[in-house]
Structures are given as structure tokens and as C-alpha cells.
Structure 1
Amino acid sequence: MVLLAQISDLHLDGSERATQRAVRTMEYLRGLATPVDALLVTGDIADHAEVAEYEEAARLLKAPFPVLMCPGNHDARGPYREVLLGEAADEAPVNRVHRVGDIAVLMCDSTIPGRDDGELDERTREWIAATLTELGGTPALVAFHHPMVNMHHPFVDSLRLRNGEELAALLSGFENVVAILTGHTHTAAASSFAGLPLRMSPSVTYALRLPWEGDEITNWEQPPGVAFHVVDENRELITHFRSVA
């Protein structure tokens, strides 16, 4: 069994509010009775992609377990790479694979520089295919920022992944993919895509108000959220959503 936590959309901007919500979330995760095997952070780590925001993220996200990240539409590849990865600034997609226990986690870059919607570009799709091929029968999770399904919310649906059909065609050739994990929605949600479970993490900074909850798009009062994913011995995914008081 592998136990993963997932958070998303910290939107660190130097404000006390954003900082304190991230601090509360990380204190909760560090204080769990049983440590997670890894924490996934699925994008929008910074709000303005400034170096100082990534420096704060690097401090706040320190943990006694691996912290695996991918960028979101508010992030920028250059400063993200320099501060969080310790690499030279580069505008190529930020794609990484990590082994966590008996599974692999592909943290992929679905961002389009300068835009808020998403795309898994040709370089990233080729990387996903090559990585899944190299993994053979190892169970794998594929994680990135933008979901590709209709959330039935006009704002979020206008900013989703643009090329879901290409991803579906790619994944159809691999039997070792267990599930897809995304952020971006600012609400905990579950669906399926290409015959696979799709889980969308709640956000740390603020929650999305759904159309039937009222006219305001954002709910600033709802607590930060965390998703816990268990991948069991049968390669089944079980997800629990929690609010951080």
C-alpha cells in the first residue's frame, strides 16, 4: 500500500493570509499519526511567479517526506526551476517521474506560458509515453494541473486542458496507469477519464463556489483542503478528502 497526500493551488503571494493557510496545511500533514509516503503539489504554487514567492514555497513545503511538484498556470518555468529545482532557468516543460514505494508518479507540465488554460504539448506527451514504456508493469499515477473534464462551472470549464482527446489516445496504450490527479479546480471532485479514475484536489488558498451555491465565484472562508490517495495491493485507488481546521 502507498499513501499519498495531494494539495494544490497555494497561490503564495506574500500575504499573511496565503502564508498562514499554507502553514496550517503543512503543520497538519507533518503531524499525521502515520506519515504519508509523499506529498504531491499540483501547481499554482506561486501567485505571480516571483522569485520571492518560490523562496517562501521552498521554506513552507519542507517536510520529513518527499514533496513532488508540478507547475500550474500561475507559475513560470524559469523561476520555478531556479528556486524549487535548483536548476538553470529554462522554458522547456517541467516533467519529472518519481518512485514512491511500489508505484511511480509522473508529475507533468500542463501549462501554456502566458495563458490560463492548459495543454500537454507534444514534448510532454512524448515524455509520458516514453516514461510509461520504461516503467513496464510498474503501477503509475499521472499528475498535472489542468483537468480535462467538464466541471459544470463556466469559469473553470473555460480554463481546462485543451487536448484531452490526445491524452486519452496516449493512455489507451498503457495498462499500468492507475489514475490521473489534477488541481486547478479549487474544489474537491471525482470523475473518470479514458476509463481511469480522475481526482481533482481541493485548494489551499480559497475554494470555488459552485453555481448552485451562489453567484460569487470564490469562497474565501472555506478551510484549506487535502486529498489522501491510497493505492492498494490490487492497484485500486481510494481517495479521502479532508478540510484543515
Structure 2
Amino acid sequence: MIIAHVSDIHIGGSDESVERALRVRDYINGLPAPVDAVVVTGDIADHALVEEYEIAREAMRYDAPTIVCPGNHDSRAEFRKVLLGETGTGSDPVNQVLRLDGLTIALVDSSIPGRHDGYLDDATIAWLAATLAATEGPVFVGMHHPAVALGLPSVDAIRLTHPDRLQAVLERHPHVRAVLAGHAHTAASAVFAGLPLVVAPGVVSTLKLPGECVLPDDWTEGDALDFAVPPAFTFHVFDGERLVSHTRVVL
């Protein structure tokens, strides 16, 4: 089973954001053998505008089952209206599940309206626990914010807070096989709750490590972003037990 993991397309976040997102989409759709699913871990729009989501909807029209969660640049109401076709204020977390033959993917909403750091509220923790309890077979759990520090100051300052809440749920469900995330704009891997945690690279830009750039004392999240590096995404190869991840740069 092969899963394409895309993240941080930030439509409207740069002059090239749309072209870069379309380049990744066309690469995935043009593969000789289709992927089994596409997971998109947040920051779909850069300013949470309806028109950005309308563009993103086309840029994420993959030829495979697709599941998407919000990030810190997204708005739940506009996300729901345009990408999910739902009406209403949409203030509740956007938690979704995709069930495939041999794998379930549960995406939880780690966004906090009006803030850049992440948190899984009580409703989301309860939803995830119930979903895992009702699911047989392997599960990937994903969200926008990584649950561990990655050595990237601008991201680590706004990562998932209180990750122990997530860890407690995952440790009760040994059929979870991996945790997926975005937010960091760089491909990264770690271990969380005894599981592989894989962070997809950014489509719109790449975040440099401290050794690759110098951050000012009053840095912002954009100071270490490089928009010249080509867009990238991750392939997850899963055999039912073991996960192997490959980062692919799209030239």
C-alpha cells in the first residue's frame, strides 16, 4: 500500500503557490500506478479566504481517496464550506476518518482558532479514542502540528502543546502504526509514543535548520523559509506492519 502525504500548500502564500500545488498534484496523478490514498496535513489556504479554498479544491483533486485536515493558517468555517461542502459556522474541530482496505487513516484537528500553536481539545481526544476503539486493523493518526520538537526554533515554538494527551490515547491502542504531521515545511522523522512520527515537507516552501541560516532575535515564522527549493511530498509504503517513507522532490 502506498500513501501520498502532502502538506502546507498555502494557497495565496506566495506568487508560485498555486503552480507548486498543481505540480505536486499532477505528479501524483500522473504516476504509472495510482497511490492508494492521499493525506493532506493542513495549511491549505494561507489567509483562510474562500477564494483560496476554491483554488485549493482544484489543486487537491487527486485521482485517489483523499483526506484533509486544517492547519494553523486555515479557518474551520471556510474549510468546511468549500472543501467539505458543509454549511453553518463550522466552529467545531474538523476530525475525519478514511477507511481503506487494510488501513484506516484518522486525521484530527490540532488547530486553535486565532493561534499558531496546536492543541487537541477534549472533543477531539474523545473522538479519536472512540474511532480507534471502533476500528480493527492498522491505523495511521495524523494532524497538522508535530507532537515533538524538531530542532526548528520557529516551528518548535508553535508545535502541538500538551502532547501527553495524544500519547495517552495512542498507547491504549496498539493497532496504531504511525503518526503523520505537517507544519514544519521540511521532511522530518522522529519517534512519539513508541511510534514513527513522519512530517511531510512543505509544498509552498522549505524551512531551513538553524545551521543553514541565521535567525534574528525577533524572528518570525517566515524568516527561515526558502521559497526557491522545489516543492516536495512524502510517499508512505506500508505492508500492514512496517512503514517506510520516501521524500520526493517535484522538479
TM-score, normalization by structure 2: 0.94
Mapping of 1:165-244 within 5 angstroms?
A: 165-215=164-214, 217-233=224-240, 235-244=241-250
Q: Which amino acid aligns with 1:130?
A: A
- Residue 129 in 1 paired to residue 129 in 2? yes
1:161-210 Cα offsets, whole Å, 9 max, x none, are 00101111111111110000000000000100010000000010000011
Retained in 2: the 8 A contact 1:45–1:74? Answer: yes
Residue 162 of structure 1 pairs with residue 168 of structure 2 = no
Contact 1:37 1:101 in 2 (8 A): no
CA distance in 2, matches of 1:120, 1:15: 29
What letter corresponds to residue 95 of structure 1 in structure 2?
A: N
Q: What is the letter of the counterpart of residue 125 of structure 1?
A: I
Q: Quote the Cα distance in structure 1 between the aligned partners of 2:46 and 2:225.
A: 16
State how far apart, in whole Å, the 1-side matches of 2:238 and 2:101 are: 10
Runs of at least 4 residues off by over 2 Å: none
Residue 17 of structure 1 aligns with which residue?
Answer: 16
Q: Which amino acid is 2:78 matched to?
A: P
Q: Report what 2:105 is aligned to.
A: 105
Q: Aligned partners of 2:15, 2:192: CA distance in 1, in Å?
A: 37
CA distance in 1, matches of 2:243, 2:193: 15
Cα 1:125–1:83 change in 2 (3 A) is: same
Alpha-carbon offset, residue 16 of structure 1: 4.0
* Counterparts of 1:172 and 1:39, CA distance in 2: 26
- What do residues 53-74 of structure 1 show as CA deviations (whole Å, max 9, x unaligned)? 0000111111221121000000
For residues 85-143 of structure 1, the C-alpha deviation after alignment (integer angstroms, 9 at most, x for no partner) is 000131000001111221100011000000000001110000000000000x3110001
Secondary structure, counterpart of 2:67 in structure 1: strand
Question: Which residue pairs with 2:51 in the alignment?
Answer: 52
Confirm whether residue 32 of structure 1 aligns to residue 31 of structure 2.
yes
Instruction: State how far apart, in whole Å, the 1-side matches of 2:44 and 2:152 are.
Output: 23
Percent identity of paired positions between Structure 1 and Structure 2: 45
Contact 2:13 2:204 in 1 (8 A): no
Q: Distance in 2 between matches of 1:107 and 1:165?
A: 17
How many residues end up aligned between the 2 structures? 242
The CA RMSD measured in Å over matched residues stands at 1.1
Length-normalised TM-score, structure 1: 0.96
- Structure 2 gap segments, 5+ residues each: 215-222
1:26-53: CA deviation from partner (whole Å, max 9, x where unpaired): 1111111211011111000000000000
Match of 1:153 in 2: 152
